[in-house]
Amino acid sequence: MSHHDVRLWAPDAEHVDLVLGADGSTRIPLRAGEDGWWSATDGTLDPGTLAPGSRYAFAVDGGSPVPDPRSLHQPDGVHAPSAVVDTAAFAWTDETWTGVPMERAAVYELHVGTFTPEGTFEAAIGHLDHLVDLGITVIELMPVAAFPGRHGWGYDGVAPYAVHDAYGGPQGLARLVDAAHAAGLAVWLDVVYNHLGPSGNYLRQTGPYFTDRHHTPWGEAVNLDGPGSDGVRAYLLDNARLWLEDYHLDGLRLDAVHALHDERAVHLLEELAALADEISGRTGVPRSLVAESDRNDPATVARRGPGGAGGVGLHGQWADDVHHALHVLLSGESQGYYADFADADAIVKVLGRTPFFHDGTVSSFRGRVHGRPVDLEVTEPWRFVASLQTHDQIGNRAVGDRLHHGIPAGRHAVGAALLLTAPWSPMLFMGEEWGASTPWQYFTDHEEEWLAESIREGRQAEFAEHGWSGEVPDPQDVGTVAASTLDWAEVGEASHAQMLAFYRALLHWRRDTPAADRGTVGEVTREPDGTGGELLTVVRPGVALLARLGGEGEVSRALPGRDEVRSATQETIAAFGARLGEPGSGEVGLDPDGVVVVRR
């Protein structure tokens, strides 16, 4: 709540008090208005009563005071009173910012709490130059909505409007966004609209925010289509508007939209897309909404049409099938949902033809047909965000080991080259670019011991089902957070610096090559190398790539689409056999786990 707005949506309440002060010593009855809103009567509050920083809460029907569902700050924790914030007082300097369109997105996913040892927005500002030099155009922040304790992933947030205090609160987020814009970087924020966490969730006490008609794996489903859901939808739409307007954010990553159960004719996602488009058109700065969806349905990002025709109209969606195919190719793992991606055609399909390996094919993990074909002439390839590593795919492993911890550096370079020359919009996970040695593990900071123990036991049992018999790091141990925090001292070390240089060169090629920007698809082949290894070739406008995985000794090949290429290249990263160059003469010699990328 800003200091200009004192009201609560509580449509089923008979009496609501505004509770003032950290000790709750003053109660002021509110007046019932239209559509379930309660507000202060004119003249009830003295000027300055709710100045920025003032604490307040609401008591419904004589119950205990609870935080404001639209609280912008919970400086004393998610169970304490809310604090007034005046978002109009943010000191913005980004008046000339014109944004980054989705088709130019090179995304960097980061968790504020472990991106730096300090774990704050302010500390993250100190590393923006690193991201600019790397060739990143968009920062994607993992959730910053207030959650219990100091440390956590953020997906158990309980105050969707409030910025987590330990990160730096509302002012800190505004400063990071402003600084990023000054550096030429867009900022997206990961938001969770399908559920709230279990600890500190007081929304049910104020309104019909949840429903028993639907369920999610993580908690109560949000009420999007039942009685009272008009107000709930307004709550979520206003939340998106807060981030995109008051905080100047350039986009939102929408968590697990397949768990947004909405049976209305106009889905909430369509309303969110319309909102983002309206703000983009009015301000001239593009706002991108990117969905995490398990449906493999291109309608998620197909354009909206008149009269309900067309798709949902979001601007992008994660393409997990690309990650899965790359992971299996590079690691050899094929358990669980990776099983189908051991198919020899999987990598060829997702790098050359479609972001969805399952596009109407049988998914053995799901036990059914899954997905729908994508027409890339209609739905542009850059609308699909692909990755080699993400917070989910690392952090939900038993010990949080990154992909490159289990493979040679050369094979990591192969993965980077395949991702960054693919037609999809690329996304890195923090530290990936230098082959960070630190894991990224699951951590929480719950006060309730029963909840902490439940999480420990649940994760141990889940990993046991997947064949993991070792000790899983304790999510409640602060040492788990420390182990997951990036070590920036590594960046200058030889092997890490070489990997960083390779990522930088590929991202700069992508930035400077119009064909990559347009997301054109290419030709991909996979074949034995004759020594027990494999060769992958990719040819697209602007680039040709030859990668080798495994085998013995060196093999020589010419890249398809060119009669000759030069093996003496502009930049050689000998430590892991990754090379970049211009077309020339001679064949390319490749060691096992090596890759050559040639600009065309």
Q: What are the catalytic residues? A: 255, 292
* CB of 202 closer than 8 Å to CB of 146: no
Six token digits for residue 257: 């939209």
User: From start to end of 409-531, where are the E strands?
Assistant: 425-429, 523-528
Q: What is the largest CA-CA distance in the chain?
A: 85
Q: Which amino acid is at 488?
A: W
> Could you tell me whether strands 316-318 and 384-387 are parallel, antiparallel, or unpaired per DSSP bridges?
parallel
* CB of 594 closer than 8 Å to CB of 548: yes
Residue 417: what are its φ and ψ, rounded to 5°?
A: -65, -40
* CB of 174 closer than 8 Å to CB of 163: no
Which SS3 state, helix, strand or coil, does residue 588 take? strand
Residues 6+ apart with CB under 8 A from 213: 221, 225, 226, 261
Report the C-alpha gap between 501 and 55 in whole angstroms: 49
Report the C-alpha gap between 24 and 370 in whole angstroms: 53
Report the C-alpha gap between 120 and 254 in whole angstroms: 23
Report the C-alpha gap between 252 and 167 in whole angstroms: 19
Q: Which amino acid is at 307?
A: G
In the DSSP assignment, the letter for residue 255 is T
Rg of the chain's alpha carbons, rounded to an integer? 25
The torsion region of residue 257 among left (phi > 0), alpha (psi -120 to 50) and beta comes to alpha
Six token digits for residue 337: 């949902």
Q: Which residues are annotated as a binding site for substrate?
A: 253-258, 320-324, 391-396
Six token digits for residue 304: 């909206």
Q: Which amino acid is at 283?
A: T
Number of neighbouring beta carbons within 10 Å of residue 401: 13
DSSP letters for 505-573: HHHHHHHH-HHHHHT---EEEEEE-SSS-EEEEEEETTEEEEEEES-SS-EEEPPTT-S---SS-SEEE
* CB of 250 closer than 8 Å to CB of 196: no
Report the C-alpha gap between 339 and 357 in whole angstroms: 12
* CB of 507 closer than 8 Å to CB of 524: no
Report the C-alpha gap between 598 and 465 in whole angstroms: 44
